């Protein structure tokens, strides 16, 4: 039974945090915006990894692979819907802060930060296909 988020997601999170560490080292508005974005992302990433670990475990259940403690898994699954709604709101905040960081970096001539702070189109397309309807 899986009890971890997909390694691709963990790798994406590590890359984002590395970019933000670099951006935070810059002075002025770029560093300040990077700090605000990192604060918003930290809890969101933790929640996202937890939710995806639960969903991966549910796939195992569907394949008739039962864990030793299914009650605990079912308790975790109960909070997934609430967490997904919360994560959608966090995505909106993160998108806003990412845009502000990009604009601050462009204004300050920090091209590397501006380029690295923009989420790729492929990632946005993937997230839009995988997202659940907002309620």
Give the pLDDT score at 134: 46
Q: Is the pLDDT confidence value at 115 over 80?
A: no
Assigned domain for 41 exists? yes
Q: Which residues contact 93 (CB under 8 A, 6 or more apart)?
A: 40
Domain containing 61: what range? Answer: 7-130
Report the mean per-residue pLDDT for the chain. Answer: 78
pLDDT confidence bin for 117, thresholds 50/70/90: low
Assigned domain for 2 exists? no
Least confident of 55-59, 66-70, 110-114, 128-132: 128-132
Assigned domain for 18 exists? yes
Residue 45: how many other CB atoms lie within 10 Å? 21
Q: Which residues contact 114 (CB under 8 A, 6 or more apart)?
A: 102, 105, 106
Question: pTM of the predicted model, to two decimals?
Answer: 0.68
Higher pLDDT, 79 or 40: 40
Assigned domain for 12 exists? yes
Give the pLDDT score at 29: 93
Over residues 71-85, the pLDDT tens digits come to 777 777 777 878 888
Assigned domain for 135 exists? no
Q: Report d(CA 3, CA 26) in Å as an integer.
A: 37
Assigned domain for 1 exists? no
Asked if residue 51 lies in contact with residue 87, where contact means CB atoms within 8 angstroms, the answer is: yes
Closest CA to 30 of 107, 88, 93, 96: 107
The tally of domains found in the chain comes to 1
């Amino acid at each position: 039974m899986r009890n971890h988020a997909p390694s691709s997601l963990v790798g994406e999170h590590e890359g984002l945090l590395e970019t933000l560490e670099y951006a935070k080292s810059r002075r002025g508005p770029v560093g300040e915006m990077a700090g605000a974005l990192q604060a918003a992302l930290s809890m969101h990433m933790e929640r996202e990894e937890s939710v995806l670990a639960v969903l991966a475990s549910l796939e195992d259940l569907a394949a008739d692979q039962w864990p030793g403690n299914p009650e605990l898994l079912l308790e975790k699954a109960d909070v997934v819907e609430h967490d997904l709604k919360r994560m959608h709101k966090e995505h909106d905040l993160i998108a806003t802060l990412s845009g502000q960081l990009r604009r601050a970096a462009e204004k300050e001539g920090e091209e590397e930060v501006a380029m690295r702070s923009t989420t790729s189109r492929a990632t946005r397309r993937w997230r839009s296909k995988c997202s659940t309807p907002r309620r």
